[in-house]
């Protein structure tokens, strides 16, 4: 799986960085950055929670 | 059983009614007040997120707001996407964790300044002397409100939200306070347009909003909407959360000792206070299409209450939900809402609460609350205290 953040949609509220601090980080531009673009399956639940909890729907999870 | 959010008895302790609703009428209908309500965690959460079905456009409290007022001073909290997103985008960068962290020294200095007289007196009123002025100084400083006007403006915010017992009718004093507030913002906007300061409000004068055709500047009405919303949301709920914390810790000294001994546990404790005693007890919505719940149809146009306060105590989600446990894991917090309307001030509220409780804890490691002297506020969806007298203990 691959994790993508849309920098235009992202408002930098840090919900994802709280849910999955090892996958996301907030940059100096107040936008979320993906630290681990291809996380292992073990991280799937965390990433899915971040996708669902993102208030801006700025995170996408693509298979493959 | 009946759910009446305006009942003072209900406001005193809503939890037995919530439990009954979850067990017996997970979809509740109040014929007289003409609303429906969902009370289980697993029903409230997806509905909060589904803004297309559950619209905020008629306001997020049960009482009927004047549609002309809603349109005259539009606020993101009572708009659906895409208009909601266009307004939210203009201010969201001011409330990111990084921006909020930069406020920490100011928040801490303000907390210490407010606590000093309480230390000298050996106690005071937690709400009047501490949990009201702290968020007030923070949000009004951010907005650029002159010092001299803050107390009056804060008082109008309280009165504007006060409700009489049992009735959704908005009292005359509340309407008057809302109007006074609006007039105040209107005048301040005029003054700041002439003599700008570095507050958030002046940033809004220059902001460009997307429209379907291009971009425009914000109208005065829209700026008043921002100020009213940030003023109310930034003050009311944080004041309530802090005082709920003071009462909870006084009732559970063993939990208080845990956070004093290990301040790293405070952040988790704040999430538990938000869960156990949510300042925002519900979010009201308008149903945009017929929806089925528990074999009944809720018709399009109906008002639906999403009972956050009940969902947070749902035994289907939390073990022993009435217990206050600072180490509880809360994978799905609801206290700040979820979805597109997720609280814009969540990082700020968390910071203010953490700093306030850290500084309070240093000065009052043991204290007692005069429970008989506590008074509650009587607002529609904001629950908490108007007064919490406390004294330091040896
Ligand atoms: C402990 C304190 C707070 C609590 C419990 C709280 C709770 C909430 C909740 C539940 C919502 C969602 C309402 C809905 O879905 O209809 C919300 C929205 C909002 N809150 Fe807070 N809030 C708090 C503090 C603050 C602060 C300090 C600010 C200051 C900036 C703030 C600004 C807002 C705004 C602007 C919205 C509307 C967001 C939108 O519609 O997109 N809140 N808050
Ligand atoms: S949760 Fe969404 S909006 Fe918030 S920082 Fe992460 S990607 Fe950005």
pLDDT tops 90 at residue B210: no
Q: H or E stretch including B67?
A: helix B67-72
Compare CB distances from B96 to A13, A55, A56 and report the shortest one's residue.
A13
Q: Which phi and psi (to 5°) does residue B192 adopt?
A: -75, -25
Q: What pLDDT, on a 0 to 100 scale, did the predictor assign at position B212?
A: 81
Beta carbons of B231 and B182 less than 8 angstroms apart: no
Whether the CB of A25 sits within 6 Å of ligand 2? no
Query: Which residue out of A7, A29, A30, A48 would a mutagenesis test of the B interface target, given it has the greatest number of B Cβ atoms within 10 Å?
Result: A30
Domain boundaries, chain B: 8-392
In chain B, whose CA is at the least distance from the CA of A27?
Answer: B98
Q: What pLDDT, on a 0 to 100 scale, did the predictor assign at position B123?
A: 98
Fold of A2-62: Alpha-Beta Plaits (3.30.70)
Domain boundaries, chain A: 2-62
Beta carbons of B380 and B6 less than 8 angstroms apart: yes
- Across the range B251-280, mean pLDDT stands at 97
Whole-structure pTM value: 0.96
Compare CB distances from B339 to A30, A49, A55 and report the shortest one's residue.
A55
pLDDT band at B213 (very low <50, low <70, confident <90, very high): confident
Query: Which residue out of A9, A46, A55 would a mutagenesis test of the B interface target, given it has the greatest number of B Cβ atoms within 10 Å?
Result: A55
Q: What is the ipTM of this complex?
A: 0.95
Fold of B8-392: Cytochrome p450 (1.10.630)
Tokens 């205290």 found at: B385
pLDDT tens digits, residue range B76-134? 999 999 999 999 999 999 999 999 999 999 999 999 999 999 999 999 999 999 999 99
Q: Which letter, b or e, does each residue of B94-113 get, where b requires 16 or more Cβ atoms within 10 Å of its Cβ?
A: bbbbebbeebeeebeebbee
pLDDT band at B15 (very low <50, low <70, confident <90, very high): very high
Whether the CB of A19 sits within 6 Å of ligand 2? no
Whole-number Å distance, alpha carbon A5 to ligand 2 midpoint, is 8
pLDDT by 10s per residue, chain A, length 64? 999 999 999 999 999 999 999 999 999 999 999 999 999 999 999 999 999 999 999 999 998 7
The answer to whether the CB atoms of A26 and B97 lie below 8 A apart is yes
- Radius of gyration of chain B measured on its C-alpha atoms: 21
**Beta strand spans in chain A (E):** 2-5, 24-26, 32-34, 59-62
Name, in order, each residue with C-beta under 8 angstroms of B126's C-beta and a sequence gap of 6 or more.
B242, B243, B246, B369, B385, B388, B389, B390
Beta carbons of B327 and B275 less than 8 angstroms apart: no
- Across the range B188-212, mean pLDDT stands at 89
């Amino acid at each position: 799986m691959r994790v993508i953040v849309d920098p235009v949609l992202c408002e930098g509220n840090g919900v994802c960085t709280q849910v999955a601090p090892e996958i996301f980080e907030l940059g100096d531009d107040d936008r979320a950055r993906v630290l681990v673009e291809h996380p292992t399956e073990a991280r799937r639940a965390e990433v899915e929670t971040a996708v669902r909890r993102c208030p801006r729907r700025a995170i996408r999870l693509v298979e493959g | 059983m009946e759910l009446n959010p305006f009942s003072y008895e209900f406001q005193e302790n809503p939890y037995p009614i919530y439990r009954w609703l979850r067990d017996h009428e997970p979809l509740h209908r109040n014929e007289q007040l003409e609303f429906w309500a969902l009370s289980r965690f697993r029903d409230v959460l997806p509905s909060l997120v589904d803004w297309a079905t559950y619209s905020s456009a008629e306001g997020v409290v049960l009482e009927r707001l004047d549609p002309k007022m809603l349109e005259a001073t539009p606020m993101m909290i009572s708009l659906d996407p895409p208009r909601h997103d266009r307004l939210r985008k203009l201010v969201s960068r001011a409330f990111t964790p990084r921006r909020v962290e930069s406020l920490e020294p100011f928040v801490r200095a303000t907390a210490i300044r407010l606590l000093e007289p309480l230390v000298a007196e050996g106690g005071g009123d937690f709400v009047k002397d501490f949990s009201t002025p702290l968020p007030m100084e923070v949000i009004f400083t951010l907005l650029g409100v002159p010092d001299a006007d803050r107390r009056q403006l804060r008082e109008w915010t309280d009165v504007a939200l006060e409700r009489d017992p049992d009735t959704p009718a908005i009292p005359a004093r509340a309407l008057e306070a809302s109007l006074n507030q609006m007039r105040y913002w209107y005048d301040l906007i005029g003054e700041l347009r002439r003599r700008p300061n570095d507050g958030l409000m002046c940033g809004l004068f220059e902001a460009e909003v997307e429209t379907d055709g291009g971009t425009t500047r914000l109208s005065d009405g829209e700026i008043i909407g921002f100020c009213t919303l940030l003023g109310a949301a930034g003050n009311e709920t944080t004041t309530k959360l802090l005082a709920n914390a003071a009462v909870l810790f006084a009732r559970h000294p063993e939990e208080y000792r845990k956070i004093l001994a290990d301040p790293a546990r405070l952040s988790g404790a704040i999430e538990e206070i938000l869960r156990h005693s949510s300042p925002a007890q519900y979010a009201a919505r308008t149903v945009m299409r017929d929806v089925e719940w528990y074999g009944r149809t809720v018709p399009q146009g109906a008002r639906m209450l999403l009972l956050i306060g009940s969902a947070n105590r749902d035994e289907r989600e939390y073990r022993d939900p009435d217990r206050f446990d600072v180490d509880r894991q809360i994978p799905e917090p609801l206290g700040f809402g979820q979805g597109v309307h997720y609280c814009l001030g969540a990082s700020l509220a968390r910071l203010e609460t953490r700093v306030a409780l850290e500084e309070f804890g240093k000065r009052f490691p043991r204290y007692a609350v005069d429970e008989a002297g506590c008074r509650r506020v009587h607002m529609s969806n904001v629950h908490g205290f108007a007064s919490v007298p406390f004294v330091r203990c040896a």
